Amino acid sequence: DQQVKQNSPSLSVQEGRISILNCDYTNSMFDYFLWYKKYPAEGPTFLISISSIKDKNEDGRFTVFLNKSAKHLSLHIVPSQPGDSAVYFCAAPGGGSNYKLTFGKGTLLTVNP
Amino acid sequence: KAGVTQTPRYLIKTRGQQVTLSCSPISGHRSVSWYQQTPGQGLQFLFEYFSETQRNKGNFPGRFSGRQFSNSRSEMNVSTLELGDSALYLCASTMTGTVFSYGYTFGSGTRLTVV
């Protein structure tokens, strides 16, 4: 039962354009969502989070949008840079004192110069 | 400030052996979690420790175990290794109360290869 899904295994964009990474979830109990970025041979790095009481959170070039009715969130990167090339994971914690993170399978973003 | 430190970085073991991986969290972080990353299954939660107690556990067989010490350092152990245990094992730490705002901080992982 995959509760967090990233249906696009890969995405390729041109430098300077917008990158949009999508994530769907099935568990209505999730009340926080996090995005992580991962380079090969390194651990994931936290990027940005959003609470279910919000529909948007912005941090510099990164914006996450949440559509609760559709159980869908997206990460926008504007403008995209070659250094953004990495695997991006969407994750949700279990809630309350349950700190288990359920991850999507990730999307490989390639930003071409 | 020092990040999450995992040792060793790489390990090769033979089927049937056991292995112990170590994780030192960021100073002040009392919650330590372990994840397994494989190409087919992605990142999967193993267990979480807080103040030396296992607080949450994932769906892994009993061959996978862990513990946390009073200084918050953690170890995980895999006994009777199988080929399918080959993976990147990641440790993450956090301060309780901030995980949803700042997420977990992950270490670089231990790459375990079982031959």
Q: Which amino acid is at A11?
A: L
State yes or no: pLDDT of B100 exceeds 80: no
* Confidence at residue B1, expressed as pLDDT on a 0 to 100 scale: 59
Q: Which residue of B has its CA nearest to A89?
A: B43
Rounded mean pLDDT, A3-12: 94
Q: How many residues in total does chain B contain?
A: 115
Is A40 at the interface with chain B, CB within 8 A? no
Q: Check CB contact of A43 with chain B, cutoff 8 Å.
A: yes
Closest CA to A38 of B114, B23, B37: B37
At B115, the pLDDT band (50, 70, 90 cuts) reads: very high
- At residue A94, the pLDDT reads 75
Q: What is the pLDDT of residues B47-87, one digit of tens each?
A: 999 989 998 899 999 999 999 999 999 999 999 999 999 99
Mean pLDDT score, A27-45: 90
Output the pLDDT for position B95.
Answer: 81
The answer to whether the beta carbons of residues A3 and A92 sit under 8 Å apart is yes
Q: Nearest CB to A99: which of B48, B90, B107?
A: B48
- With a CB cutoff of 8 Å and minimum separation 6, the contacts of A109 are A10, A11, A12, A13, A19, A21, A77, A80, A84, A85, A86, A87, A88
Alpha carbon distance A75, A16 (integer Å): 16
Residue of B nearest to A105 (CA): B42
Which has more confidence, B103 or A38? A38
Between residues A84 and A31, the one the model is more confident about: A84
Q: Which of A5, A43, A9, A11 is nearest to A25 (CA)?
A: A5
Task: Give the residue-averaged pLDDT of A54-75.
Answer: 96
CB contact under 8 A, A99 and B106: no
Rounded CA gap, B62 and B18, in Å? 13
The owner of tokens 């040792």 is: B7
Q: What does the alpha-carbon distance between residue B79 and residue A23 come to, in Å, rounded to a whole number?
A: 35
pLDDT at B12 over 90: yes
Torsion angle, CA of B82/B114/B17/B84, rounded to 10 degrees?
-10
**pLDDT score at A95:** 65
Q: What would the two tokens of residue B89 be?
A: 């094992």
- Are residues B100 and A101, on separate chains, in Cβ contact within 8 Å? no
Sorting pLDDT into bands at 50, 70 and 90, what band is A31? confident
**Has residue B97 got a pLDDT over 70?**
no
Would you call B107 and A43 a contact, using CB atoms and an 8 Å cutoff?
yes
Which candidate in B4, B6, B100, B111 is best for mutational testing of the A interface (most A CBs within 10 A)? B100
Is B101 in Cβ contact with A43 (below 8 Å)?
no
pLDDT band, very low/low/confident/very high, at B42 (cuts 50, 70, 90) = confident
Average pLDDT over residues B4-8: 97
* Per-residue pLDDT at A46: 92
Residue B102 predicted with pLDDT over 70: no
Q: Residue A2 has what pLDDT?
A: 77
**Nearest CA-CA partner of B54 in A3, A34, A97:** A97
CB contact under 8 A, A100 and B103: no
| Per-residue pLDDT at A76 exceeds 70 | yes
**Nearest CA distance, A6 vs chain B (angstrom):** 11
Decide if A49 touches B, using CB distance below 8 A. yes
If one compares A95 and A60, the residue with the highest pLDDT of the two is: A60
Q: Pick the residue of A100, A103, A108 with the most B CBs within 10 A to test the interface with B by mutation.
A: A100
* A49, A89, A97: residue with CB nearest B43: A89
